[in-house]
Each structure stands twice: as structure tokens, then as C-alpha cells.
């Protein structure tokens, strides 16, 4: 009788672990959005389908186009050669912990790609414009594309 009890407990434990893993494997985005904050792109999201107090890595990705110029003290760009356009695929990741309901709400910030342009004396480097496109956020095997250019 005792052997049957141990087998029953072992089977119940295995089924319980399997059910917990199956529930945790249903990671999905409830929503995802992006908006500009000055020159940065802030990607916000809500994820569900996790267990209580689980750690998940979330990654936001995009293609950014940044235009830089050298500006003199008068606020002008004195030479046409003192400009640079940087196009880069960017991503930023962060670890988030789920709440008691198995969801995560958070945001990640993507900064413009850096310039390699060196300005001559008396001039300073200025980011004139930046755009972000092909924005997506991914976690736990699920990816959410965020339409638009920001």
C-alpha cells in the first residue's frame, strides 16, 4: 500500500510540474506601443501568461536613422562636409519579474545611434533629427510588431 501511495504522489507531482510549465509557456503580449520622448524611443508593453514571480527578458528592437551636424557658435552649419547620417539596427533588453497574476508591465528606452563625426574647433556636434521604424518587442518566444515611424 505504501508503494502505491509513493507512486501516486510522484505522478501527482510530475503532473503538477508539467501543468505549471505548460501555463508558463503561454507567454503573450496583451499590448505593446512606442512613443518618442525627445530623441529617445520608449517601448511600453504588457505581457501575460507567466507564473507568479517569474523572471523574463524582454527585448525592444528597431532601425534608427540619425542625422548629425557640426554647428558653430552662431547656430549654423558652416560646411556641407560637417554632416553625418547614421542608420543602425538597435536593440535593448531588460529583465522583468511577473506579478502575482503572472503578468509584466514595463518599458524599455532606445537611444539614437551614436555619431562618429568629429567637429573642428569652435563647433559642436548636434543631433538634428532621428527616426525609428520596424519597431518590435519580444519575450518568451512571442514577438509583437509596432507599426509606424516614430
Kindly report the pTM of this predicted structure.
Answer: 0.79
Taking the alpha carbons of 70, 74, 76, 79 in that order, is the dihedral positive or negative? Answer: negative
pLDDT in tens, 90-126: 999 999 999 999 999 999 999 999 999 999 888 999 9
**117 class by beta-carbon count within 10 Å (0-12 exposed, 13-18 middle, 19+ buried):** middle
Domain residues of the chain, as ranges?
28-146
| SS3 assignment, position 138 | strand
24, 51 contact by CB (below 8 A): yes
Q: How far apart are the first and last CA of the chain?
A: 68
pLDDT in tens, 6-45: 444 444 434 444 444 444 459 999 999 999 999 999 999 9
Amino acid at each position: 500500500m505504501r508503494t502505491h501511495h509513493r507512486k501516486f504522489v510522484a505522478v501527482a507531482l510530475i503532473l503538477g510540474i508539467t501543468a505549471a510549465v505548460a501555463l508558463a509557456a503561454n507567454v503573450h503580449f496583451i499590448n505593446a506601443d512606442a512613443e518618442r520622448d525627445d530623441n529617445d524611443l520608449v517601448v511600453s508593453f504588457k505581457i501575460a501568461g507567466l507564473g507568479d514571480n517569474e523572471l523574463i527578458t524582454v527585448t525592444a528592437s528597431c532601425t534608427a536613422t540619425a542625422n548629425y551636424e557640426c554647428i558653430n557658435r552662431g547656430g549654423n552649419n558652416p560646411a556641407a562636409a560637417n554632416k553625418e547620417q547614421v542608420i543602425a539596427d538597435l536593440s535593448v533588453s531588460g529583465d522583468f519579474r511577473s506579478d502575482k497574476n503572472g503578468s509584466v508591465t514595463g518599458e524599455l528606452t532606445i537611444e539614437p545611434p551614436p555619431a562618429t563625426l568629429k567637429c573642428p574647433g569652435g563647433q559642436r556636434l548636434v543631433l538634428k533629427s532621428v527616426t525609428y521604424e520596424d519597431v518590435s518587442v519580444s519575450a518568451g518566444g512571442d514577438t509583437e510588431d509596432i507599426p509606424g515611424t516614430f
